[in-house]
Amino acid sequence: MEKYYQEEIECAPYEKIREIQSEKLVKQVKSVWENVPYYRKKMEEKGVTPDDIKSVDDLHKLPFLSKADLRDAYPYGLLGRPLSECVRIHSTSGTTGKRVVAYYTQHDIDLWEDCCARALTAAGATNEDVVQVSYGYGLFTGGAGLHGGSHKVGSLTIPISSGNTDRQIMFAMDLSATILCCTPSYAAYLGERMKELGYGPDDIPLKAGIFGAEAWSEEMRKDIEKTLGIKAFDIYGLTELSGPGVAFECSAQSGMHINEDHFIAEIIDPDTEEVLPEGSVGELVFTAVDKEAFPMIRYRTRDICKLTREKCSCGRTHVKMAKPMGRSDDMLIIRGVNVFPSQIETVLMNNGYAANYQIIVDRVNNTDTFDVQVEMTPEMFTDNIGEIEGRQRKLSDDLKAMLGIKAKVSLLAPKSIARSEGKAVRVIDKRKI
């Protein structure tokens, strides 16, 4: 039987959700106009005032916010409430440019934790469960978000954070953890390490995992589910919009329900900024209708995916987003061809490899080089050159069929690529260095 954390809102009819969104949006736009001069100026430049926004149907009239705006307004320019009302910040790792610093009032934290509690409940968590939170704690939102959600559900929470893998396995076994929260790449590594230590899926009581913060393929899901003996659920979010829990997967495991009473989603064409109809692939844009301290309106996430309102078997009515294919800024252009790392991962995993790979792109004599290095699994490991070459050729052919361009594939010995405890770094684009 499907369980809900806030059934009334999670299963509300579409018209009811639109009504809630419209009411909150009108209020939010007024508040931002009054309290955030940076966004008010953007509205003025576009010739819009709060009087023009009467319902969700008017959303398209409002200006977008982008990462560039966050940088321009850093550190306080987008605050929607005085600092005296803010109780916490979180921040991104800032691999590309300046860090994003997001602010929270106590009310913001409360709603964020509710969103995470909805995700945990959808994955089967109750007050009988033991939730091991192996996302990083600290500035990163992963640890704090799932931790707060787990408390709300009443589960016993293990705030272990990421790292120290053998200790993770010991805690999971000794304290009978039933739900694991971490990045999918770390879950895969935990499974790999368990195998090395001689443990199988039956040695740990885990039943579910809540994995997100990075793109992962269906093939990787199957792999993790098998190694850990669990059901693996996807969870999506970003620091600018509070953190994990903007959207989460239910028992149907076919896309993530967006918490629409808090976030209005749109898909736009990233080049023309035109809003696209349901089902189109494009850039995901969110409006947070009730965030107080850091009120993002039409925030361009750069994540590429699509939305569907098809009826879901779980009974939830909120719109579902497909697994993001990657970020528009993750997309590599190699010899003029668009390549998403997720496409490469699919080919590798369909050929029986685990997600231990690296994509290295460089430019030599004005031509892009494209190397894919992937570890053999311990089961397939061999030093027979002929066999290795045959396998490399097969992968190279399959990648060509998927992408339309040729990659130089190298098979590596097991464990030659460093494992990640948080978000995995899989692309090394030397052209940008």
**57-96 binders of ligand DLL (CB under 6 A):** 92
Q: Which two tokens stand for residue 228?
A: 């850990």
Q: Is the dihedral of CA 91, 242, 214, 287 positive or negative?
A: negative
**279-298 binders of ligand DLL (CB under 6 A):** none
Q: Is the dihedral of CA 75, 79, 82, 83 positive or negative?
A: negative
Q: Is 422 in the site for ligand DLL (CB under 6 A)?
A: no
The DSSP symbol for 323 reads P
Q: Which is nearer to ligand DLL, 212 or 341 (CB)?
A: 212
Report whether 358 contacts 417 (CB < 8 A): yes
Residue 133 phi, psi dihedral angles, 5° rounding: -95, 100
Q: Which is nearer to ligand DLL, 33 or 248 (CB)?
A: 248
Which residues sit opposite 86 in a β-bridge?
105
Q: Which is nearer to ligand DLL, 114 or 398 (CB)?
A: 114
Nearest residue by C-beta to ligand DLL?
212
* Closest distance of CB 213 from ligand DLL, Å: 3
* Closest distance of CB 274 from ligand DLL, Å: 21
Helix, strand, coil percentages (3-state) for the chain, rounded to 5, are 35, 25, 40
Q: How many chain residues are in contact with ligand DLL, going by CB under 6 A?
A: 21
Quickly tell me which residue has 């090394």 as its tokens.
428
Would strands 256-258 and 243-249 be described as parallel, antiparallel, or unpaired?
antiparallel
**125-184 binders of ligand DLL (CB under 6 A):** 135, 141-142
Residue 111 phi, psi dihedral angles, 5° rounding: -70, -35
Which residues sit opposite 277 in a β-bridge?
none
* Closest distance of CB 241 from ligand DLL, Å: 8
Stretch that binds ligand DLL, among 31-39, 73-81, 233-241, 396-404 (CB under 6 A): 233-241
Q: Which is nearer to ligand DLL, 30 or 327 (CB)?
A: 327
Report whether 318 contacts 299 (CB < 8 A): no
Q: Please give the C-alpha separations between residue 65 and each of 165, 285, 395, in angstroms, as whole numbers.
A: 39, 9, 41
* Closest distance of CB 45 from ligand DLL, Å: 26
Q: Which is nearer to ligand DLL, 209 or 244 (CB)?
A: 244
Q: Which is nearer to ligand DLL, 225 or 303 (CB)?
A: 303
Contact string (CB under 6 A) for ligand DLL, positions 293-332, x = contact: --------x-x-------------------xx--x-----
User: CA 30, 50, 32: angle at the middle one, nearest 5?
Assistant: 35
* Closest distance of CB 233 from ligand DLL, Å: 10
* Closest distance of CB 182 from ligand DLL, Å: 9
* Closest distance of CB 307 from ligand DLL, Å: 15
* Helix, strand, or coil (residue 26): helix
The half-sphere exposure of 235 on its side-chain side, counting CA atoms within 13 A, is 32
* Closest distance of CB 37 from ligand DLL, Å: 25
What is the amino acid identity at position 206? L
The DSSP symbol for 405 reads S
Which residues sit opposite 257 in a β-bridge?
248, 320
* Closest distance of CB 404 from ligand DLL, Å: 24
Of residues 148, 191, 209, 237, which one binds ligand DLL by CB under 6 A?
237
**201-220 binders of ligand DLL (CB under 6 A):** 212-215
Which stretches of the chain bind ligand DLL, using CB under 6 A? Answer: 92, 135, 141-142, 212-215, 234-239, 243-244, 301, 303, 323-324, 327
